């Protein structure tokens, strides 16, 4: 039986990959600037990260106290108005990313950076678990010199700590543009609890995060 399991393991991983999600057509509308305008951004700061499948990354950050909204999308590439089909197939230069709108009086940029590095493997090049390709590369997009310093100092600290067997490969680059993903990707984890990828890959990761960050979570997510 063990031999059969390992024979079919690549097939199961293929089926569960974020990039193999069925494209929805009923509400596959791109989030527009008008949609984003519905978020009350007064007093909020923005942070942008790419750390693998955005369904997981979005779910982590939206659970944190001080985070008011998280938008899944694409960043780090040169193409304008990229689509999920282009990005997930590796036909664009973008990575799956999230844009986090947060209250800096309740949670700091440094705390967000720590969460980012705690919730994915920053040592695997162009890969997160079953999701393989440059669209899943690890990136922090900084907006100010201070943010760049925070990120580079934290990476240095991680490398020196020996927490990871291999060196951090996370890219640190200036923020240029964020393209919101199609509507059906937004809040995907919560709206699709029976999705095979959510069940087999995302849910165990999110539950592990909730246990580790229980005191930092919004009340409705505390155990």
CA distance 95 to 100: 16
How buried is 198 (Cβ within 10 angstroms: 0-12 exposed, 13-18 middle, 19+ buried)?
Answer: buried
Backbone φ and ψ for 173, nearest 5 degrees, come out as: -140, 155
To the query of whether residue 18 is one of the catalytic residues in this protein, the response is no
| Largest CA-CA distance found in the chain, in angstroms, rounded | 58
Radius of gyration of the chain (CA): 17
Question: Which residues neighbour 139 within 8 Å (Cβ) at sequence distance 6 or greater?
Answer: 49, 50, 51, 75, 76, 95, 97, 170, 171, 172, 173
3-state secondary structure of 196: helix
Q: Which of 18, 31, 50, 53 is catalytic?
A: 53
Chain-centroid distance of CA 55 in Å reads 7
Question: Which residues neighbour 146 within 8 Å (Cβ) at sequence distance 6 or greater?
Answer: none
Catalytic residues: 53
């Amino acid at each position: 039986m063990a031999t059969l399991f390992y024979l079919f393991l690549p097939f199961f991983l293929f089926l569960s990959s974020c990039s193999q999600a069925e494209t929805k057509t009923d509400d596959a509308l791109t989030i527009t600037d008008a949609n984003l305008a519905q978020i009350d951004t007064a007093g909020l700061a923005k942070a942008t990260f790419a750390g693998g499948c955005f369904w997981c990354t979005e779910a982590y950050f939206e659970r944190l106290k001080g985070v008011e909204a998280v938008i899944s999308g694409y960043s780090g590439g040169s193409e304008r108005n990229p689509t999920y089909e282009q990005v997930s197939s590796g036909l664009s230069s973008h990575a799956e990313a999230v844009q986090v709108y947060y209250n800096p009086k309740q949670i700091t940029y440094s705390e967000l950076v720590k969460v980012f590095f705690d919730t994915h493997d920053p040592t695997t090049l162009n890969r997160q678990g079953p999701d393989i390709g440059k669209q899943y590369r690890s990136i922090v997009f900084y907006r100010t010199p201070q943010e760049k310093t925070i990120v580079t100092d934290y990476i240095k600290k991680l490398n020196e700590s020996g927490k990871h067997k291999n060196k951090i490969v996370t890219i640190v680059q200036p923020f240029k543009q964020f393209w919101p993903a199609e509507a059906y990707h937004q809040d995907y984890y919560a709206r699709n609890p029976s999705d095979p990828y959510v069940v087999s890959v995302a849910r165990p990761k999110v539950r592990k995060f909730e246990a580790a960050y229980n005191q930092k979570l919004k009340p409705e997510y505390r155990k």
